[in-house]
Amino acid sequence: MIVDDSLQILGKPLVEDKHYQISGTVKEDGQFVSRPVIALDRYSMAYRGGTVSDAATGVWKITGLPELPEKSLLVLSIDLDRETNAEVFDSVTPCLME
């Protein structure tokens, strides 16, 4: 039996390497904006990932997340100028990346 660091026995993975993602769009007053977006574990508040939304489209995506329980992420979009409150989504479930 051969076992290596990638947890394979005879070429078959013991743990499937699946990657999940979350994505969305950030708007302020109906306009697309660039904002930091962070994902936290809803229960432990552990950091799960972050990015910045695109200024022209407002689109953001956090990829490479592990498989997590349903509704286990808290996602925040933060206005660094402190002119508006953070946008909060508190029951987010990652989707399997295609």
Structure tokens at 18: 């699946």
Residue-number span of the structural domain to which 67 is assigned: 20-94
User: Is residue 5, in this structure, part of any structural domain at all?
Assistant: no
| Residue 9 located in a structural domain | no
pLDDT at 36: 96
Tokens encoding 53 = 């939304």
* Residue whose pair of structure tokens reads 């409150």 in the numeric block: 85
CA-closest candidate to residue 77, choices 56, 93, 59, 63: 59
pLDDT at 18: 67
Other beta carbons within 10 angstroms of residue 29's beta carbon come to 6
Q: Is 86 within a domain?
A: yes
- Percent helix, percent strand, percent coil in the chain, to nearest 5: 0, 50, 50
**Overall number of domains in the chain:** 1
1-56 pLDDT, tens digit per residue, is 344 444 444 444 444 556 999 999 999 989 999 999 999 999 999 999 999 999 99
Residue 39 lies in a domain: yes
pLDDT tens per residue across span 70-98: 999 999 999 988 788 889 999 999 999 87
Q: Is residue 72 part of a domain?
A: yes
Greatest Cα pair distance in the chain: 61
Q: Which of 82, 86, 58 is nearest to 74 (CA)?
A: 86
Note whether residue 82 is domain-resident. yes
Domain for residue 71, yes or no?
Answer: yes
Q: What is the model's pLDDT at position 82?
A: 79
Q: 24 and 54 in contact (C-beta within 8 Å)?
A: no
Classify residue 43: in a domain, yes or no. Answer: yes
User: According to the model, what pLDDT value does residue 97 have?
Assistant: 82
Say what the pTM is: 0.77
